[in-house]
């Protein structure tokens, strides 16, 4: 059984707590994915952001692209509250939130259902003994290759050099992807997290990988 590692974070402000209390209006339950069939399958395009932090990127994307449906994945409750506040303030109707880990949500979604995926500044788990807890590994790349439609991309960013090396190795070695280091994704605003990293002198590494072939599992299923 896969061991999951998440950090639920700090206390919420009063405003975040009030917004979080409205989560049921936006909740996507991976165990009941069929309830959201229309949202997932009938969207012209589907964005999934894993680890949306305070929701700055997701909310801006949803506002700029009203014909897209957007799923945000996060376990940091103050961030969930912050995103809900913004969704309500801007009357965003194309956002759902999964309060779970990224792998659980991806496994619940239909194959080839995602048009674009964001993974910006995932927890680096910097201590060597914790590297196995990192989100981006071979299992994640294989799962991503199944859930992205052919021609769709996953965009990633980190300010930890060792994690950047790992991201490059994992995706460069997966036959379903083509891509590599890139400029910052054009629709991604510079978040407060990124600004803090820059003030500390951290370099930012961005990547973009496009799914160009079938995943390993799909190839195996076809050959049987």
Counting every residue, how long is the chain?
Answer: 224
Residue 67 to residue 36: CA distance in whole angstroms = 16
Cα within 13 Å of Cα(29), Cβ side: 7
The phi-psi region of residue 201 (left if phi > 0; otherwise alpha if psi is between -120 and 50; otherwise beta) is left
Residue 138 to residue 205: CA distance in whole angstroms = 19
Hey, is 97 helix, strand or coil? strand
Catalytic pick from 45, 123, 178, 206? Answer: 123
User: Are 19 and 77 in contact, with CB atoms under 8 Å apart?
Assistant: no
Q: Is 172 a catalytic residue?
A: no
Residue 110 phi, psi (nearest 5): -65, 150
Of 76, 149, 140, the closest CA to residue 105 belongs to 140
Q: Report the catalytic residues.
A: 123
């Amino acid at each position: 059984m896969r061991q999951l590692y998440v950090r639920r974070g700090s206390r919420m402000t009063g405003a975040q707590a009030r917004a979080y209390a409205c989560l049921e209006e936006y909740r996507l339950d991976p165990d009941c994915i069929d309830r959201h069939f229309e949202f997932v399958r009938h969207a012209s395009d589907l964005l999934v952001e894993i680890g949306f932090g305070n929701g700055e990127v997701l909310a801006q994307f949803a506002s700029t692209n009203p014909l897209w449906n957007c799923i945000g994945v996060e376990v940091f409750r103050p961030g969930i509250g912050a995103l809900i506040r913004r969704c309500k303030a801007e009357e965003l109707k194309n956002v759902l939130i999964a309060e779970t880990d990224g792998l659980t949500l991806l496994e619940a979604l239909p194959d080839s259902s995602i048009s674009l995926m964001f993974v910006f500044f995932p927890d680096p788990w910097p201590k060597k003994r914790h590297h196995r807890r990192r989100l981006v590994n071979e299992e994640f790349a294989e799962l991503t290759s199944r859930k992205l439609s052919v021609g769709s991309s996953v965009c990633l960013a980190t300010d930890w050099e060792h994690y950047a090396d790992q991201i490059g190795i994992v995706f460069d070695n997966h036959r379903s992807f083509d891509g590599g280091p890139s400029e910052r994704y054009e629709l991604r605003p510079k978040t407060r997290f990124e600004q803090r990293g820059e003030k500390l002198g951290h370099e930012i590494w961005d990547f973009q990988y496009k799914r160009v072939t079938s995943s390993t599992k799909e190839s195996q299923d076809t050959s049987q």
